[in-house]
A and B are shown apart, each in its own frame.
Chain A
Amino acid sequence: MSKVAASTSTPVTAPNETCANCNVYRAANLKKLGVSLTQTDFVVALAGNPNTGKSTVFNALTGLRQHTGNWPGKTVARAEGAFEYDAKRYKIVDLPGTYSLLSTSLDEEIARDFILFGQPDVTVIVADASRLERNLNLVLQVLEITDRAVLCLNLMDEAKRHGLAVDERQLARDLGVPVIPAAARSGQGLPELLQAIADVATGKAVCRPYRLANEPPALKNAINELVAKLKTAHPDLPNARWVALRLLGGDERMAEALRQGELGRLERPASVAAEAVLAK
């Protein structure tokens, strides 16, 4: 009995290196856990513009059947599911689709609060490859908040249909995070995505996310001054620049978080924070 349990919990070792990199092998290592959310090792957030296929990716990884629909704004609450990959259990949270994290509508707040205060181990940003520029606006904002992200360049098939070619290597170099081209509706790219999620979660891949640098000088100085102050108060705050920007903008929620010491808690290990947010 115990033998069986032990053998399922250890990862299946690949016969050789070629196998380890093969899609068939990697996909076979995925176990869809549906809604059994107990004892997960990592928390993954799914962010992205509306109607880019977040829920499709979510369903493909968890085996759940969140209703998907071809229109923006379908997911307005968080959906949670789980999967197991390489003997690690992941909780995955499908966030509402948003164009930005700067405004005050409830869906944007849900997404932003989770990425910021929930501190997921990995944030997967699902982007529409055929509308890359507009999608990058959100990507850049997410990268300001977290430095553990994977960009899933979804709808590659549609981009191709529109005669677009996207150079994912160039993009990965510029953004400083793994970029995985995919067509989630037909399952393309999902094995690679899983591997990238695992790499970032376990620290095998280290991200050096692109940070905005071209603000007007006056704004930049103000941000730097505030960042210095924030760093003295919370030396380990991972996204002081972004918090400074929000405080400058008079974001009441952020000011409240600072007063209540919620920002201080961002210095804790990630999974603990995510559990705390999810429990709310």
Chain B
Amino acid sequence: MSEAVANPNPQADAILQAAQRLRRELSGDLHEQVVETIYADAARIADRAVTRPGVKVQPTFDRALDRILTSRIWGFPIMFALFALMFWLTIAGANLPSGWIANLLVDKLWPVLREGMNAIGSPWWLTGFLVDGVYLATAWVISVMLPPMAIFFPMFTLLEDFGYLPRVAFNLDRLFKKSGAHGKQAMTTMMGFGCNAAGVVSTRIIDSPRERLIAIITNNFALCNGRWPTQILVASLFLGSLVPVRLAGLISAGAVVGVALLGVFFTFAVSWGLSRTVLKGEVSSFSLELPPYRPPRFWQTLYTSLIDRTLFVLWRAVVFAAPAGAVIWLSANLKIGDLSLAQYLINGMNPVGLLLGLNGVILLAYIVAIPANEIIVPTILMLTVLVTGSAEMGQGAGVMFELDSAASTKALLQAGGWTVLTAVNLMLFSLLHNPCSTTIYTIYKETGSVKWTTLATLLPLVLGFLVTFLVATVWRLFS
């Protein structure tokens, strides 16, 4: 017994020692020898099984398409054009259905619910908490988010099913390599455009721990689902309106693509910085397989992208929006002296916010929305109603108002002191701030390290402060 404790597994140790001795005796690279053996056998067996009967082959379609889509000259322009087209279709197509849903949920259903609650004798604070807080926040999120997602995700999934995404990765590969990161990071970045938590998990395909960490830390620069609606809404309200109507959609779409590209730029820049400072090392090579193009299965893609992505993301947003609505309503109605709790916080953060070309409302909204970026816009609007005290627009403290017309939304925000600078910086800050709590937790699970999780959380936030501050300063100098 005591011997077993001293040497728990003598038999195993003997085998391991033998293995070590044999390894020393072998000449040449063992791994290479094994791989060569496997390859030789695989080639021999495949050769016996595969024949090419004289059929005239038609790989020309795939080849020809690849030659264009991954060409040095046309690869990037086509990529931008495709994504810009998708955003434009999303922006142009989502307006109308958004109005319908808002009309139904807010204009029609909300008063009914209020009256219903009053009829059964509910006290004002319970009606306020449930109907004005929880219900309205949820209704808002649905009407703002459902239409764009229902348009954008199916298009994205169709492209994915067709086989375009690996071509994007192929185009970006050279740039990733130059920035000292792994070429496969192109894939994980693409994944991040859907959801950063999913993107972080997908970095498992990168074998070098150094390059995997770079991919994890920079994944947040890929604009995720939850942030697209903010970008799209702010761009169409404030930037689209700077130009004639017929160009508005184009300009808004261009602005959103611009922010997404800026995110890609930051991915490269930060990867480059990390690989030259805290994460130094060699770039490992890999082979990227370009799968054949496949005709997308249209109906199935439509179904799965609606169920898996659209409803999944929407559900997540609703789950977080309901409690956030409650919190906002409470903070707007809990008074300390003359002012509500929310107002105290907003006043406290306003100086910093204004310095960054934002305001206290936006900063508070980003704190409330740490669990889910999806609820940024509704939160901002609710808080703006609170500070502007525009009772005729809102329905009282912490209550979201009717948002059927874009004009009234814009009017409200302008009453809250918003300018084009606020809009631009909000778009930038939406790109550059801490990841949502789900992503932070995923990063912790994947890295197992508090240090790297903290870096991944704070780095984008610091960058966000720097960039918005710079933009605000330059803006004020020239205007």
Asked if B160 contacts A70 (CB within 8 A), the reply is yes
Asked if A233 contacts B11 (CB within 8 A), the reply is yes
Partner of B202, one of A73, A170, A215: A73
Asked if B304 contacts A67 (CB within 8 A), the reply is yes
A-B pairs with beta carbons under 8 A, tally: 193
Q: For chain B, residues 21 to 48, give those with C-beta under 8 angstroms from any C-beta of chain A.
A: 22-23, 25-28, 30-31, 33-35, 37-43, 45-48
A209 within 8 A of B: no
A269 within 8 A of B: no
Q: Interface digits, A211-234 against B, CB 8 Å rule (1 contact, 0 not)?
A: 011111011001001100110010
Q: For A71, what are the chain B residues with a Cβ–Cβ distance below 8 Å?
A: 160, 163, 165-166, 169, 187, 291
Q: Interface digits, A51-82 against B, CB 8 Å rule (1 contact, 0 not)?
A: 10000000000000101111111101100000
Asked if A171 contacts B49 (CB within 8 A), the reply is yes
Partner of B163, one of A70, A107, A140, A249: A70
Partner of A258, one of B15, B38, B49, B161: B15
B53 within 8 A of A: yes
A253 within 8 A of B: no
Q: Interface digits, B207-218 against A, CB 8 Å rule (1 contact, 0 not)?
A: 100000000000
Asked if B49 contacts A166 (CB within 8 A), the reply is yes
A40 within 8 A of B: no
Q: For B33, what are the chain A residues with a Cβ–Cβ distance below 8 Å?
A: 215-216, 219
Q: For B12, what are the chain A residues with a Cβ–Cβ distance below 8 Å?
A: 233, 258-259, 261
Asked if B9 contacts A222 (CB within 8 A), the reply is no
Nearest neighbor of B164 in chain A, beta-carbon distance? A70
Tell whether A51 pairs with B289 under 8 Å between CB atoms, given A107-B205, A141-B38, A222-B22: yes
Instruction: Please report the total number of B residues contacting A with Cβ < 8 Å.
Output: 67
Partner of A70, one of B26, B30, B59, B294: B294
Asked if A226 contacts B19 (CB within 8 A), the reply is yes
Partner of B205, one of A105, A137, A141, A175: A105
Partner of A248, one of B9, B23, B45, B57: B23
Nearest neighbor of A74 in chain B, beta-carbon distance? B202
Asked if A69 contacts B49 (CB within 8 A), the reply is no
Asked if B41 contacts A214 (CB within 8 A), the reply is yes
Nearest neighbor of B303 in chain A, beta-carbon distance? A65
Q: For B476, what are the chain A residues with a Cβ–Cβ distance below 8 Å?
A: none
Nearest neighbor of A107 in chain B, beta-carbon distance? B204
Asked if B31 contacts A105 (CB within 8 A), the reply is no
Tell whether A136 pairs with B37 under 8 Å between CB atoms, given A163-B57, A247-B19: no
Q: For chain A, residues 215 to 271, give those with C-beta under 8 angstroms from any C-beta of chain B.
A: 215-216, 218-219, 222, 225-226, 229-230, 233, 244-245, 247-250, 255, 258-261
Shortest distance from the beta carbon of B351 to any chain A beta carbon, whole Å: 45
Tell whether A219 pairs with B26 under 8 Å between CB atoms, given A76-B205, A258-B12: yes
Q: For A70, what are the chain B residues with a Cβ–Cβ distance below 8 Å?
A: 160-163, 165-166, 291, 294
Nearest neighbor of A104 in chain B, beta-carbon distance? B207
Shortest distance from the beta carbon of A222 to any chain B beta carbon, whole Å: 4
B184 within 8 A of A: yes
Q: For chain A, residues 156 to 195, give those with C-beta under 8 angstroms from any C-beta of chain B.
A: 158, 161-168, 170-171, 174-175, 185
Shortest distance from the beta carbon of A149 to any chain B beta carbon, whole Å: 14
Asked if A258 contacts B202 (CB within 8 A), the reply is no
Nearest neighbor of B22 in chain A, beta-carbon distance? A222
B411 within 8 A of A: no
A137 to B287, CA, bound (A): 15
A103 within 8 A of B: yes
Point out which of A65, A166, A216 has the most chain B C-beta atoms below 10 A from its C-beta.
A216
Q: For A175, what are the chain B residues with a Cβ–Cβ distance below 8 Å?
A: 45
Q: For chain B, residues 47 to 85, give those with C-beta under 8 angstroms from any C-beta of chain A.
A: 47-53, 55-59
A107 to B160, CA, bound (A): 21
Tell whether A229 pairs with B18 under 8 Å between CB atoms, given A69-B160, A132-B49, A261-B9: yes
A106 within 8 A of B: yes
Closest 3 CB pairs of A and B: A105-B207, A136-B42, A163-B57
A–B complex contacts, Cβ < 8 Å, 30 sampled: A65-B307, A70-B294, A71-B166, A71-B291, A100-B35, A102-B31, A102-B34, A105-B205, A105-B206, A106-B204, A106-B207, A110-B204, A130-B292, A132-B46, A133-B43, A134-B42, A158-B292, A162-B57, A167-B50, A170-B48, A174-B45, A175-B45, A216-B37, A219-B30, A222-B25, A226-B15, A247-B16, A249-B30, A258-B15, A259-B13
